[in-house]
A and B are shown apart, each in its own frame.
Chain A
Amino acid sequence: MTTSAVSLPAALRPRQILNWFGVAPFFIFATLFLILPTLNIVVGAFRNAQGEATLENLGKLLSPSIRSAFWISIELSLMTAVLGCLFGFLIAAAITLGGLPRPLRNAILTFSGVASNFAGVPLAFAFIATLGRLGFVTMLLRHWFGINLYGSGFNIVSFLGLALTYLYFQIPLMVLIITPALEGLRREWREAAESLGASGFQYWRMVALPVLWPSLLGTLALLFANAFGAVATAIALTGSSLSIAPIVLFAQIRGDVLNDPHLGYAIAFAMIVLTAVANGIYILLRMRAERWVK
């Protein structure tokens, strides 16, 4: 893989300087549109309006309204991540180990590819059309089963409604990531366990899950970050009636600097920290998981 630099004729060597022109646009682009904007936010979070270093902005995150917005966000992300992992795992297990026809497996994987990318505004519309006040399922339940969904206190514009909607992209993502890991479980491991007298439950508890747990936990972290950064779905579904962290930040930027730009920096900074930690966990655990799959 790392062949060329040495094997090429020495006459080409001075061209190494020229080669930098090949990668320079990328670095300039990344600096201008990815790194500097992010650094600006991070630095801004630690500065006050006069440009002096301060921790005051981060302190404001502890005010009740901001703290509760973050708390709802974390709860929502955690809940959809856990449920997404659980249901995604069950579906992935069903299509890999459950003896289902192979075309069905391929169809489900293709659909997962589509559904995991079908987030944002249209997804919110689909759920409003389904579980909204006049939605498909709401009407179905009323006319066929006599169940009044909204009479029982359900509302699509709520924590539960948002969680149900997020699962639509969380579960397929889990299916896509965990299916290869499940396929990596070797038949011999199961046979070896069985020949030593292990039951199906023992095999899962002592062989399969210990091999899978880095993938499982890693994906959990990824799903958490995935839900935490989702803004468009939430805005299209709830307007701004449910205040979760990204919506608060959105409103803060929109009403720009109306009250306090540095509070916006602090919210954004806290969001970066949370998603970075979650993604960091994912990457670390993924590297661990790959040891077994190879």
Chain B
Amino acid sequence: MTGKRLWSWLAVVLGGLYFLLPLAGMVDFSMRMKRGEYSFEAYRLVLADPQFQQTFGYSVGLALLTIVLGILIVVPTAYFVRLRFPGLRPIVEFITLLPLVIPPIVIVFGYIRIYNTSSILPLTGSWLGTNILLLFGYATLSLPYMYRSVDTGLRTIDIASLTEAAQSLGAGWARILTVVILPNVFVSVLSGAFLTFAIVIGEYVFAALLNVNSFGPYMVWMGGNRAYEPSALAVVAFAITWACMGLIQLFTRFSKFSTARR
């Protein structure tokens, strides 16, 4: 028994070294900009860089819009499929899993071919069109996470009874979805939303190939042109990922607590 525990500790300690050293390296490197002392100089430079402010702000905005779009598409679909079209379930589930199967670079390649300037819908031709394309592209990437979390949320509530109750009180579909269903699956929606945020914020391939100057391409540009700032950016990105995952855990625990009370 003690032998087994020893091996387990060994596995965890070695694993811990592998996983913590790059984090230590990243933090260490990001603070070595001034010779001979630790400082936050790299962070100061990054945060003061107008390029950073602009691209980061853009990516945050885009991530939030992606979440809104994702909710608008996924919540009604998951709801109607559960309530009225159980037969469509396998098809919808299959489609929502496709973005995990088809490499993102292939999807964006398809966009460039279909929506280029010589097509019927020349989205890549204008600033607005390109942004819309990127937004819908990110919504596509978030589909697997969004759909699964919303669907799991719907499973825990009795949507048929809720719908009938709301209808008997005279509510229409839009009202049922926004006032009755959405609040009930809000926690699940949030966990999908945070995951989406973590994915979109530093995404590179879509943005680079659509020539959009968002946070991902900015980071790559910094990587090629600066020494210490990239590490500072990596620390920021890692903190965002942690925050998103932490919030998911927090909200799921909170929801478990509230359902247990019911």
Contact = CB atoms under 8 A, between A and B. Distances in A.
A146 interface: no
Interface residues of B, number: 90
Interface string B71-115: 011101101110111101000100100111111111111111110
Given A126-B238, A129-B231, A236-B223, A264 B109 contact: yes
Contacts of A232: 203-205, 216, 220
B25 A135 contact: yes
A286 to B, nearest CB: 12
B234 A129 contact: yes
A121 B11 contact: no
Interface in B147-201: 159-160, 163-164, 167, 173, 195, 198-199
Contact of A22 (B79, B101, B199, B203): B79
B148 to A, nearest CB: 14
Nearest to A261: B113
* Secondary structure call for the A interface: helix
A33 B103 CA distance: 14
Contacts of A172: 19
B127 interface: no
A74 to B, nearest CB: 14
Given A23-B85, A25-B77, A95-B12, A40 B113 contact: yes
A271 B198 contact: no
Contacts of A279: 100-101
A223 to B, nearest CB: 13
A245 B139 CA distance: 25
Given A38-B102, A40-B110, A122-B237, A99 B136 contact: no
A94 B21 contact: no
Contacts, number: 273
A272 B104 CA distance: 10
A44 interface: yes
Given A26-B77, A120-B216, A236-B219, A33 B25 contact: no
A36 B84 contact: no
B25, B30, B95 interface centre (most CB from chain A within 10 Å): B25
Interface stretch (B33-41, B48-56, B241-249): B241-249
Contacts of B242: 114
* Secondary structure call for the B interface: helix
A125 interface: yes
Interface residues of A, number: 89
A36 B86 CA distance: 25
Contact of A100 (B8, B25, B159, B241): B8
Interface string A156-197: 000000000001100110000000000000000000000000
Contacts of A93: 8, 11
A99 B1 contact: yes
Contacts of B76: 22-23, 25-26
A235 B204 contact: yes
B25 A137 contact: yes
Contacts of A115: 19
Given A23-B81, A40-B114, A272 B103 contact: yes
Nearest to B110: A37
Contacts of B244: 117
Contact of A236 (B83, B113, B204, B231): B204
28 contacts: A4-B83, A4-B163, A5-B83, A18-B173, A22-B76, A22-B84, A23-B85, A26-B92, A30-B143, A33-B137, A38-B98, A38-B107, A91-B12, A95-B12, A100-B5, A104-B12, A111-B19, A117-B245, A125-B219, A136-B21, A136-B29, A229-B105, A231-B105, A232-B205, A236-B220, A236-B223, A253-B109, A253-B112
Top-5 shortest CB links A-B? A37-B110, A98-B8, A130-B25, A136-B25, A129-B29
